[in-house]
Amino acid sequence: MTLLNFQTVDLAPAAQDFLGEVLQGLSQPVKTLAPKYFYDDHGMELFEKICELPEYYVTRTELSIMDELSSLALPASNQLAVIELGGASSFKFRRLQRSLSDIGMYIPVDICRQALFQEAQKLARDCPDLKVMALCADYQQLESFPWETYTAGFTPVVYFPGSTIGNLTPSEAKSLLTMLRRIVGPNGYILLGCDLVKPLSALIPAYDDAQGVTAEFNLNLLRRINRELGANFDLAQFRHEIRYNTAENKIEMHLVSLASQTVHLAGTTLQFAKGESIHTEDSRKFTRRSIENLAAESGFCIDQWWTDSRDYFAITLLGSVTSANILSMRANQSADLSHPFLRRADQSPTSSAARG
Ligand code: TRP
């Protein structure tokens, strides 16, 4: 059956140079591996498990805040085109549909082609009135994409959940938001999920759970390198380790060598000292101030800010810094209505008007 409301665009990111990047990262004085390689099939399964762990408050808290966004008012004339970054799984978008009823178009973007296309097609089937365009691309390819062809007549809203922004370096995050500002234009928005600074007693277990799923997820990167690149990492000789970097407010994930050892990879011999680590990922934690600064550096300001009762996670609506919203900001200094289009959930005890 052909679905009239469904299409795909495959920008098929050029085959990534997995071997080149691994060799490069492992030959640095401080060894690193790129986190984008976590997500092979097993990695994706493990990540889904992480999201359900009792210690991993992130997904649960984000979803609970989304349920609070129940009465977002909508622009009268324009429907929204929601562009979701990392949209291979549509369950968060389905939640968002409950609060943003006037979505006319959905554009999930991901590099996991198969999952992306399958999920998007299911969604198109379930929502016949929604136009769905699944875009297989990586973030760098978004800049030159002909957005007007697809989003003309809609108000674009980029949805970037999961605090994935925290897995980027500050300069990557700034470039991404600056690019998104160009994509959505002066009338568009970013709906951003960001994990907040909190006590280490909550933070550490979220990345080092009792069942060892996160450890398995981290170690799976070495398993993948063995399988796809023919290396001989002995997984029993590496340990998952979490460190909190207080200066930068970030969780660091490492794989620490338990012994002095050598590993062979594509004709190269890699040396590991006992206790030496491979730094695999950062997960930055934000404050309202740090998000405000990041937004300002990229041409946005915080229009709305919603958080949970513990202040663990925030969902924020970023709008362009334009003279119009500077005026509305002044006019609405103490009012609930902080944006001409979007109104916060009036009944929600946990939401707060950004400009109040
Ligand atoms: N962005 C989320 C976070 O930083 C999800 C995530 C990415 C994650 N990589 C992870 C969670 C590794 C646990 C382990 O929390």
Statement to judge: residues 186 and 66 lie in one domain? yes
Q: Which of 167, 192, 217 to mutate to test the pocket of ligand 1 (most atoms within 8 A of CB)?
A: 167
Residue nearest to atom 4 of ligand 1 (CA): 283
CA 48 – CA 341 distance, rounded (Å): 34
Give me the pLDDT at residue 295, please. 97
Q: What is the pTM of this model?
A: 0.89
Statement to judge: residues 111 and 194 lie in one domain? yes
Q: How far is the CA of 47 from the centre of ligand 1 (A)?
A: 8
Residue nearest to atom 15 of ligand 1 (CA): 283
- List the CATH number of the domain containing 342: 3.40.50.150
Q: How far is the CA of 39 from the centre of ligand 1 (A)?
A: 11
Residues ≥6 apart with Cβ < 8 Å to 62: 92, 161, 162, 163, 193, 313, 315
User: Two tokens at 143?
Assistant: 């800049």
Pocket of ligand 1 (CB under 6 A): 50, 58, 162-164, 166-167, 207, 214, 217, 281, 283
User: Average pLDDT in the 294-322 region?
Assistant: 93
Statement to judge: residues 38 and 94 lie in one domain? no
**Given 260, 284, 308, which residue is the final one in a domain?**
284
Return the minimum-mean-pLDDT range out of 51-60, 250-259, 286-295, 325-334.
325-334
Q: How far is the CA of 288 from the centre of ligand 1 (A)?
A: 20
Residue with tokens 């709008």: 319
Does some domain include residue 15? no
Task: Report pLDDT digits (tens) over 69-125.
Answer: 765 654 536 899 999 999 888 999 999 998 887 899 999 999 888 999 999 999 999
Does some domain include residue 28? no
Does some domain include residue 244? yes
Statement to judge: residues 65 and 164 lie in one domain? yes
Q: How far is the CA of 10 from the centre of ligand 1 (A)?
A: 26
User: Two tokens at 341?
Assistant: 């289009």
Residue 71 lies in domain? 57-199+286-355
CA 200 – CA 296 distance, rounded (Å): 28
Task: Report pLDDT digits (tens) over 188-198.
Answer: 999 999 999 99
Does some domain include residue 212? yes
Give me the pLDDT at residue 71, please. 55
Return the minimum-mean-pLDDT range out of 11-20, 47-56, 101-110, 238-247.
11-20
Statement to judge: residues 260 and 136 lie in one domain? no
Statement to judge: residues 262 and 335 lie in one domain? no
Q: Is residue 207 helix, strand or coil? A: helix
Quickly state the pLDDT bin for 47 (edges 50, 70, 90).
very high
- Give the number of domains in the chain: 2
Statement to judge: residues 151 and 193 lie in one domain? yes
Give me the pLDDT at residue 173, please. 97
Residue with tokens 């071997």: 19
Statement to judge: residues 186 and 219 lie in one domain? no
Q: How far is the CA of 329 from the centre of ligand 1 (A)?
A: 34
User: Average pLDDT in the 297-317 region?
Assistant: 94
Cβ–Cβ < 8 Å for 137, 13 = yes
Does some domain include residue 183? yes
